[in-house]
A and B are shown apart, each in its own frame.
Chain A
């Protein structure tokens, strides 16, 4: 009677959870379609090598009667090297300057004439990164030095304006654009997205689902039977993990077909670290949902887990930009372990050997949280 595993019970729980899940149409959207749309959007935004287009504000002289006669370095330069354009179709710019470069792609600057206040407004809105002004026959560049993009615009502009003689075309002989697999942004992004998807799907699907079940008093009736509580939770985890495998497989297939993202390491290693990530977050989800019956509190708790890791764990951008002292902590977060693990298989060609340690840690984290969660779980 008290067998460790009651097979039929476990099977029926799995079937019930599975049916409940797939009978919700929104599951299909958030689970399958949304991640693909997201990777498509981000992939296109970062991987197409089109021209870089940046707007620049040029301060108009306050005194219009003088301007016509006054000699303007910027205007003179643009009259020679730039092209006149229709402001109506070019964000209000009257002139454009094209810096063509066969190797690293073209950069196009659009010059918008504004008074100082309007120029600052454009800068605040992010429409322009750099404001150019003439004073005493020199060009002055205003920009936020912390804004890397503005700094790059400044370097390109100042170089072009300072050395018009060498021409605006600049072929960097020393630049060799990388075409090696696994070095593009999309290669970095897809493993991050897979990791984040896994975390979100478990934390919202399982944790929130459980809190909701408790708040709707669904659990009370079930535990007033000889149902094994561990079986209930294990079945829930199993169904979620199976769904995650399908979701991620679709995402990987999509990334391969559309962006030519390939798995360079071993597929077995990928499955292993992916499974370990599922175990880790499955345990965390059960722990997080072990007490509250209030969906508002649940929201807060889940966000408290999910948001810091989404920001810190290098899903979209490398965490190496964070301060030096914080990196050892960041690297120990479950999502970081997972994303780094998946990424190493995808782009560094890692195999089981490289992945075994992070996988073991993730599984242990999951087991600890699962056990504590199960012990303290409130069923009523």
Chain B
């Protein structure tokens, strides 16, 4: 998707010079972001980079120490109910009520958005948990739980989707199932996505814009090919072999999955 065309529109998410500290840790230091309709953005960085802190500030769960965040031009304060209705989120650590079934859990969340049981059936179809719909949440696998979390994020057909490490800890098959759901969403809707990950493959597969973040700062951002090109002046033929991991290592001297 041509980025230049969309930057003229109003961004769906705008983050301006946001800072956040925990005691001695400066988790997010002066981040700026603009994300547009339909854009799929990866926040790529190692553990402790500040991805969760940044995403949770965008989600309104945490408050920035300074800086501004606008969702569809609106700030969280005073607009929480309205903004909750247009975003869908999945937290890094996902917990639901153990003693409810998959279907009951979705039905409960549907009611928060004034949606009914029909939407629940649609979502169960989308996330492929039809066989597991009557299982207690406590009894489903990690991959199925992540799909349930994704289903809950999608239940209100959000304009903005924020997923914090949706595939961490999953085996390659389970990971690919989640990717399929997201790629299908990209084909079908105009929703925007921010996804955090420390798997460069995930960023490459799903996202058309990648932001590399470490120690609370954005190190580089752009499309995959831009990022690969920016680093050093190697010949085009070699670009294909180079990966984002190399880009990260060149900038920090460390590896992404360290």
A residues adjacent to B (C-beta < 8 A)? 1-2, 6, 8-9, 11-13, 15-16, 19-20, 23-24, 216-218, 220-222, 224-227, 380
Contacts and interface: CB of A to CB of B under 8 A. Distances in A.
Contacts of A227: 112
A196 B104 CA distance: 34
B81 A12 contact: no
Given A20-B99, A226-B85, 9 more contacts: A6-B114, A11-B111, A12-B110, A12-B111, A15-B104, A217-B91, A218-B97, A222-B112, A225-B113
Contact of B60 (A15, A16, A224): A224
B85 A24 contact: no
A380 B53 CA distance: 14
A9 B94 contact: no
A221 B99 contact: no
B81 A8 contact: no
Interface of B: 59-61, 81-82, 84-85, 89, 91, 93-97, 99-100, 104, 107-114, 116, 152
B96 A218 contact: yes
A19 B93 CA distance: 24
A224 B113 contact: no
A108 B181 CA distance: 82
Contact of A224 (B59, B93, B104, B111): B59
A19 B96 contact: no
A380 B95 CA distance: 13
B95 A218 contact: yes
A10 to B, nearest CB: 8
Contacts of B81: 1-2, 226
A207 to B, nearest CB: 18
A222 B99 CA distance: 16
A16 B104 contact: yes
Contacts of A6: 111, 114
17 contacts: A11-B111, A12-B110, A15-B104, A20-B99, A24-B99, A216-B95, A217-B93, A218-B95, A221-B96, A221-B152, A224-B61, A225-B84, A225-B112, A226-B84, A226-B112, A227-B112, A380-B61
B136 to A, nearest CB: 8
A102 B54 CA distance: 83
Contacts of A16: 97, 100, 104, 108
Nearest to B162: A224
B151 to A, nearest CB: 13
Central interface residue in B82, B85, B108, by most chain A CB within 10 Å: B108
Contacts of B96: 218, 221
Contacts of B100: 16, 19-20
Contacts of A24: 99
Contacts of B114: 6, 8-9
Which A-B residue pairs are the 6 nearest by beta carbons?
A12-B111, A23-B99, A225-B112, A227-B112, A226-B84, A9-B111
Given A221-B91, A224-B84, A226-B81, A20 B97 contact: yes
Nearest to A20: B99
